[in-house]
Amino acid sequence: MNNKPKLMKLRWVGAAVLFSMYANSSWAFSIDDVAKQAKDLAGKSFEAPKSNLPSQLREMKYANYQQIQFNHDKAYWSKLKTPFKLEFYHQGMYFDTPVRLNEVTANSVREIKYSPEYFNFGNVPHDADTLKNLGFAGFKVLYPLNSKDKKDEISSFLGASYFRVIGAGQVYGLSARGLAIDTALPSGEEFPRFKQFWIERPKPQDKHLVIYALLDSPRATGAYRFLITPGKDSTVDVQSKVYLRDKIGKLGVAPLTSMYLFGANQPTSQVNYRPALHDSNGLSIHAGNGEWIWRPLNNPKHLAVSTFTVENPRGFGLLQRGREFDKFQDLDDRYDLRPSGWIEPQGDWGKGRVELVEIPTADETNDNIVAFWTPESLPEAGKEMKFAYRLHFTRDESQLHSPETAYVKSTLRSTGDVKQSNLVRQPDGTVAFIVDFVGPEMSKLPENTAVTPQVSIGNNGELVENSVRYNPVTKGWRLMLRIRIKDAKQPTEMRAALVNGDKTLTETWSNQLPANE
């Protein structure tokens, strides 16, 4: 019997299977595919996106925009056995240009087509014919974060290069961004925009979601890869490749945007049942040399920019320290549940600085706080810059700090006074700051430990009192400062840390009293 034709057929089938396996294994969408587009864009003139919104939707109020709701029964991937689902934002208001969304599967990329049937428009007046030519403004990610039986919104990508992520038991607060350009410069800020996304279809067992994004702006382009891992503390691993089109004044890497209206460090002058109202109350920095810095936030009367020279930062972020409910007393907005955002650089970022921008605001609807890292020098146009980092969204701020170094639990501001012989306290024209330091190692120190303060005040202030005492409630130490301000029209800088002999016990408290006029 001649088996040759059969053997040849088997070999051909085997070769076809091997070819198919090879083809499938060799095809994989990656950040390099997006980077090629970003680099090509950087070599061309910027084309500003054109709005395709009819006036009815462009001129709508925020309350009306909120009426346009995604039909939850039409969630993308709803028929797939995957824990992740997608929902979309409709265009409207200042979200007037569409973003392109794509799905990445094991062997293909296909566009997620817009349809008005995804949405319920409520009582919003609209022309059904004009809707057909519109698109998505962004998207949100759902995942069973707090309960196996309910899909919670864990992430949102909407507007410019903004995105937000939360962990279990958290509510949205501060935002992250892909890139910031010329923030707080007189020339005005440029807001890069994610113009296209590619979202990998997750497998049934996946515990993370991969998203790619193409960034574009008049003077920069970029490719991004986000790996979102939801959990008690959700994380986002970010890879980015950035290309400049033209010279810029300041590049903001890994920007965080938050809100600070008032709090213990800067109490409100108006009667309010809420003691504090903020998404974050301080900037924390872990410098490359190991130093920890804490800068309490302000709502200044004038734009304020603070810089911290940092080479190869180990981490920085906008934190919500002291998040007990009684610090906020807000049942509606739950500022006590808003996460801290922490940037953990991967690899060496070189020489540069962490910059904090504080913008005056009269209410809590404006994000007035921005923090980012900016490199000391920038390459020429078209050259690739790589930045990788992990973003942490957490309510456990103590884990973001080295246990051997005590940190600032709270900064309290008060009118300075002196106790008279009759025990009545008399204001003396100074400003007082009470700073409580706590930490696992500090709590082990005997209360009679010789703890001394190291304090420096800028030229605009005179140090009137500088004392430290053990705090039996926190098992830490409390620093008391009274400062006489020379010119209320100028800001006043302060720095302080606690030491025991030649050993530094605490992070550096680096505060600024804003100008009063």
Residue 303: closest CA among 180, 458, 184: 184
Specify if 221 maps to a domain: yes
What's the pLDDT score for residue 132? Answer: 87
Q: How confident is the model at residue 17 (pLDDT cuts 50, 70, 90)?
A: very low
Q: Are 395 and 167 in contact (CB under 8 A)?
A: yes
Residue where a domain stops, chosen among 371, 400, 429: 400
Specify if 139 maps to a domain: yes
Q: Are 257 and 391 in contact (CB under 8 A)?
A: no
What's the pLDDT score for residue 26? Answer: 55
Q: Are 211 and 197 in contact (CB under 8 A)?
A: yes
- What pairing do the DSSP bridges indicate for beta strands 100-104 and 193-200? parallel
What's the pLDDT score for residue 21? Answer: 40
What's the pLDDT score for residue 448? Answer: 96
Same domain? 339 vs 428 = no
Residues whose CB falls within 8 Å of the CB of residue 365, separated by 6 or more in sequence, listed in order: none
Same domain? 216 vs 330 = yes
Burial (CB count <10 Å: 0-12, 13-18, 19+), residue 446: exposed
Specify if 325 maps to a domain: yes
Specify if 22 maps to a domain: no
Same domain? 346 vs 429 = no
CATH number of the CATH domain containing 275: 2.70.98.10
Q: Which residue has the tokens 């953990």?
A: 344
Please state, in angstroms and as integers, the Cα–Cα distance from residue 64 to each residue in 89, 95, 124, 168, 424, following that order: 14, 13, 6, 30, 56
Q: How far apart are CA 118 and CA 291, in angstroms?
A: 51
Same domain? 449 vs 484 = yes
Same domain? 356 vs 428 = no
Structure tokens at 23: 């083809």
CATH number of the CATH domain containing 471: 2.60.40.10
Q: Are 209 and 139 in contact (CB under 8 A)?
A: no
Same domain? 329 vs 285 = yes
What's the pLDDT score for residue 85? Answer: 98
Same domain? 209 vs 350 = yes
What's the pLDDT score for residue 419? Answer: 83
Higher pLDDT, 422 or 249: 249
Please state, in angstroms and as integers, the Cα–Cα distance from residue 465 to each residue in 166, 476, 479, 504, following that order: 42, 20, 10, 21
Specify if 143 maps to a domain: yes
How confident is the model over 426-450, as a mean pLDDT?
96
How confident is the model over 420-434, as a mean pLDDT?
90
pLDDT digits (tens, 9 = 90+) for 155-166: 999 999 999 999
pLDDT digits (tens, 9 = 90+) for 90-121: 999 999 999 999 999 999 999 999 999 999 99
Q: What percent of the chain has pLDDT over 90?
A: 86
Same domain? 194 vs 261 = yes
Length of the chain: 517
Structure tokens at 414: 């008060």
What's the pLDDT score for residue 130? Answer: 84
Same domain? 350 vs 492 = no
Sign of the torsion formed by the C-alpha atoms of 128, 132, 136 and 140: positive
Same domain? 386 vs 426 = no
pLDDT digits (tens, 9 = 90+) for 129-144: 889 889 999 999 999 9
Residue 299: closest CA among 364, 202, 385, 394: 364
Q: Which of 48-62, 281-295, 362-376, 447-461 has the lowest mean pLDDT?
A: 48-62
What's the pLDDT score for residue 102? Answer: 98
Q: Are 135 and 99 in contact (CB under 8 A)?
A: yes
Specify if 5 maps to a domain: no
Q: Are 150 and 139 in contact (CB under 8 A)?
A: no
Same domain? 221 vs 250 = yes
Residue where a domain stops, chosen among 347, 376, 400: 400
How confident is the model over 369-384, as a mean pLDDT?
96
pLDDT digits (tens, 9 = 90+) for 309-334: 999 999 999 999 999 999 999 999 99
Specify if 15 maps to a domain: no
Specify if 25 maps to a domain: no
Same domain? 325 vs 416 = no
Q: What average pLDDT does the structure give for the chain?
A: 93
- Number of folded domains in the chain? 2
Q: How far apart are CA 411 and CA 430, in angstroms?
A: 16
pLDDT digits (tens, 9 = 90+) for 196-233: 999 999 999 999 999 999 999 999 999 999 999 999 99
Q: Is the pLDDT of residue 361 over 70?
A: yes
Residue where a domain stops, chosen among 400, 415, 434: 400
pLDDT digits (tens, 9 = 90+) for 473-487: 999 999 999 999 999
Q: Is the pLDDT of residue 435 over 50?
A: yes
Residue 80: closest CA among 211, 232, 209, 233: 209
296 is in which domain, residue-wise?
Answer: 31-400
